[in-house]
Structure 1
Amino acid sequence: MKLKKASAVINMFKEFFHKESSSGIILIMCALTAVIISNSSLNHAYEKVLHTNIALGMGKFFISMSILHWINDGLMSIFFLLVGMEIKREVLVGELKTIKKVILPIGAALGGMVVPAIIYFMVNFGQNTVSGWGIPMATDIAFALGVISLVGNKKAPRGIVVFLTALAIVDDLGAIIVIAIFYTNNIRWLALLIGVIAFVFLIIANKLKVRHISAFIILGFVLWICLLKSGVHATIAGVLLGISIPLGKTRVEAEESAAYKLEHLLNYVSAYGIMPIFALANSGVIVNINSFKRLMISPVSIGIALGLFCGKQLGIFGMSWLFIKFKIAKLPSKVSIKHLYGASVLGGIGFTMSLFISSLSFSNAIYLNDAKVAIMSVSIISSILGFLIFKLMKTKNELS
C-alpha cells in the first residue's frame, strides 16, 4: 500500500515536471517567496545572504563576487548558453531556417523591441533614469508559453505557439545585442583580447568538428572569465559558447549531436534550477502603499508599465498587421488576427529578462525597486489578459 502511494506521488511529480506550464508555476512561486521574505522580518537576513562575498580560485587567480553576482553573472551565463544553442538550432534546422517562415516573427519582434524602448525613453527623457530603456524590450518565453499551454491547443493552434517561440528567440537575440553594446562597463582591452582569442579557438574547434564537448566547455569557461574581467557582461560568453558548439546541418544530425543532448539537459537545469534561483534572488521588492503610489508617479515604473503593456501590443501586433496587409508575410496555418493579438499581449510578460536588464540599468535601490514592482505587476496583468483572450476565443467547432 505504501509503495503504491509512493509510486502515485512520484508519477504525479513526473507529470508536473513534463508540463510546459510547470517552469512558469515554479518561477511564480519563487518570485512570490522573494516578495514575502522582502516584506517580512527575514528581509535583513535575505539581503545579507545575497550580498555575502564568495571567492573561488587560488593565490592571484581568484574571482570574488557576492552571491547575487554569482547568480546573475555565473548561473545566468548557463541560461544564456542555452539561449545561444536554441538560436543556433532554430536558424540551422528549425523555425528560423527559411526567410518565408521567419519574416513575420522577426518583424513582430523588432516592433516589440523598438516601440517599448521608445515609450520608456520618451517618459524618462532628460532624467538619470533614461538608462533603463532596455528593460521593457524583453519577453519571457517560459511564462508566455506556460500561459498558452494552460489554454490548450484547440484555442491556441501550433502556428501561434511557433510564432511566439520564434518571436521570443529573436527578442532574446535583440536583448543580448543590447546588453553587449549598451550595458557594458569600461573595457579592459587585454582581457577582451584574450577572450576574443578563446572565441577564435572555439570557432576553430567547431570547424574541425571536435566531438569532445569538454573542449568547448573549457574554452567557454576561459571566455567567461575574460569577459567578466573585461567589463563586457559575462553572460555574453554563454551565448558565444552556445553558437560555437557543433550541431549538424540537418534535423537528424542535430538530434544526434552532443549539442542537442547538452541542450536537452540544460532545459531542465535552467527551467527547474537556474531560473527559480534567479527569481528568488532578484524578485525581492518592498511592497506597500508607498510602492504603489510610486508606481503611479515614478518615471521608471510608468515607462516600464507603458512599454511592456502598451508598447509590446503596439509593436508586435502593429508590425504583424502591417506585414500581413502589405503581403510581406502571411498568417501561419490555422492562426487568426485574434491569435496574433493574444500573442502580442503575452509579449508584455517581461519578467526574467526584464528583471535581468533592470539589475544592469540601476544601482540606485529605489529605482531598482520601482522597476521590479512595475515588471512584476505588468507581467501578471499581461498573463491574465492574454490567457482570457485565448480562453474566450471561439473555435470552429464552437461557432458551428
Structure 2
Amino acid sequence: MTSPRLSLTTAIRPFKALFVSDAFEGVLLIMVAAAAMAVANSPFAHEYHVLFHGTLPWTPIGKLNNLHLWINDALMAIFFFVVGLEVKREIVAGELSDARQRRLPIFAAIAGMAIPAAVYFTLSGGDPQLNRGWAIPAATDIAFAMGVLGLLGSRVPGPLRLFLLTVAIVDDIGAVLIIALFYTANLKLAWLFAALLVFGVMFAFNRMKVTSLWPFIIAALVLWYCVLNSGIHATIAGVVAALAIPMRKRDGHSMLEQLEHGLVRWNAYLVVPIFGFANAGVALAGIGLEGVLAPLPLAIAGGLVIGKQAGIFAAIFIADKIGFARRPDESTWVQIWGVTILCGIGFTMSLFIAALAFPRYPLLVEEAKLGILGGSVISAIMGYCVLRFAPATRKGV
C-alpha cells in the first residue's frame, strides 16, 4: 500500500519541477501581470496608482520624483545591463560569433521587427497620434517565451530553443537601437559628452586589464547618471556599460560571465517582476468593448500575433529555400511555426516602449497595455498549443 507521504510527493513533483525549471520565469510574469490587473481593478486601485505615480516626499535625484520613474529609469537599467552582457557574450563567444550561424537569427529578427511595424501601421488607421507606437510589437520577451518552452519540456528540439533565444537577443539589440534613435528628444550635449568620457574610462579599465569589479560598477553608476541627464533614455547606459565589461578569462573565470551569472536571477525574479507589476496594471473601468477594439490595442495585438509569426516564419522559409541559411536542425515546419508564434510574446520590452511612446497620453498607454497583454497571451496560448500537438519527427518539406 502506498503511503500518504509518498502519494503526496508524487502528486506535487510536477509542480516542484515547474518552479525549478526555466518555465517558472514565464509563470512568474503571468502571475505578476494578473496581480497587477487585479489590484488596478480592485478597491485598492487608488492606492496602487498613488504608490507608483504619487510624488515622493524626498528623492536624491530630482528627475525621478516618483516610484514609477525610479523603476523604469533606474531599476530597469539593471535589466538592460544584463541584456548587454548577454549580447556581448553571444557576439564574442556565442551563436552570433559565427557569421554562418548568425545569418538566420539576424535575418529572422529584422523581418520580425519590420512586419509587425507594417501590421501596426495598417491597423492603426493612419492616425498620426498613434504613429509613435510602431515599435511596441517589435521585441520578444525572452523570459516569457522561454518559460512557455519550459512548460513543453523535450517536445521542442534543442536547436529550435537556441534559435528562439538567439532571435530574442537580436530583437533586444534592435529594441535598444530603436529606443536610442527614435525615443530620444532634447539632447543635452554636455551630459552626452560626459557620458562618452565615462565610457572611455570604462574602456580604459578594460584595456588596462583591471581585475576588480568595483571600478566598473562605480563608473557604470556615473555613466547612468550622465545618460539620465543627456536626453537619451537612462536605461541605454546599462547596455553601453555592459559592452565595456571584459570578456577575458581571469583565474579561469570571465568577469562578464561572473557578472551575468550573478545578476541574471535577480533580474528575472526581482527587477522584471517589479517592473511588470508597476506597468501591467490596466484600469478597465470605463473601457468597454469599444476601448478594447480601438485602433491602438488592435494594432499592437495584430503586430504581435500576426506580424511576428508572419515575418519570422517567412524569413526562415525563404532563407532555407534559397540556401541563405539552414532552418534549425531536428525541427519540423510545424514546430518552427509554433516557435515563431511564441516570438509574439512582447511583455517586458513592449510595456517599456509603450511608456516611452505616449508619455503625455495616459489613456493611450493604458490602451497599449491592453494590446500588449492581449497579444502576448494569445501568442503564448497559440504557440503552446501548436508545439504541444506538433509531430516530433522532422519531415522534408
User: Distance between the aligned counterparts of 2:201 and 2:173, measured in 1?
Assistant: 23
String of CA shifts for 1:80-118, please: whole Å, max 9, x gaps. Answer: 000000000011111111011111111110000011112
User: Distance between the aligned counterparts of 2:15 and 2:381, measured in 1?
Assistant: 25
Q: Which moved more, 1:283-292 or 1:258-267?
A: 283-292
String of CA shifts for 1:2-59, please: whole Å, max 9, x gaps. Answer: xxxxxx9xx999865531011111111111111011111111111111013348776x
Q: Name 1:85's counterpart in structure 2.
A: 85
Residues 224, 237 of structure 1: 8 Å contact kept: yes
Indicate yes or no: 2:257 matched with 1:257: no
Indicate yes or no: 2:109 matched with 1:109: yes
Indicate yes or no: 2:135 matched with 1:134: yes
Q: Which moved more, 1:332-341 or 1:353-362?
A: 332-341
Residues 317, 327 of structure 2: 8 Å contact kept: no
Shift of 1:313: 1.1
Report SS of the residue matched to 1:65. coil
Show structure 2 runs of 5+ residues with no match: 1-9
User: Distance between the aligned counterparts of 2:31 and 2:146, measured in 1?
Assistant: 17
Q: Name 1:70's counterpart in structure 2.
A: 70
User: Distance between the aligned counterparts of 1:14 and 1:222, measured in 2?
Assistant: 42
User: Distance between the aligned counterparts of 1:194 and 1:393, measured in 2?
Assistant: 54
Shift of 1:188: 1.0
Shift of 1:127: 2.2
What code does the residue aligned with 1:146 have? G
The aligned runs of 1:1-400 (5 Å cut-off) are: 17-54=19-56, 64-124=64-124, 125-153=126-154, 155-248=155-248, 256-287=253-284, 290-296=287-293, 298-362=294-358, 363-396=360-393
Show structure 1 runs of 5+ residues with no match: 1-7
User: Distance between the aligned counterparts of 2:287 and 2:191, measured in 1?
Assistant: 44
User: Distance between the aligned counterparts of 1:187 and 1:55, measured in 2?
Assistant: 29
Shift of 1:366: 1.3
User: Distance between the aligned counterparts of 2:160 and 2:24, measured in 1?
Assistant: 20
Q: Which moved more, 1:26-35 or 1:122-131?
A: 122-131
What code does the residue aligned with 1:224 have? W
Q: Name 1:4's counterpart in structure 2.
A: none
Residues 247, 253 of structure 1: 8 Å contact kept: no
User: Distance between the aligned counterparts of 1:12 and 1:233, measured in 2?
Assistant: 42
Change (3 A) 1:254 1:266: farther
Q: TM-score, normalised by structure 2?
A: 0.91
String of CA shifts for 1:59-80, please: whole Å, max 9, x gaps. Answer: xx76542100100011100000
Q: Which moved more, 1:332-341 or 1:272-281?
A: 332-341
Percent identity over paired residues = 39
User: Distance between the aligned counterparts of 1:62 and 1:201, measured in 2?
Assistant: 26
Shift of 1:187: 0.7
Q: How many residues align?
A: 382
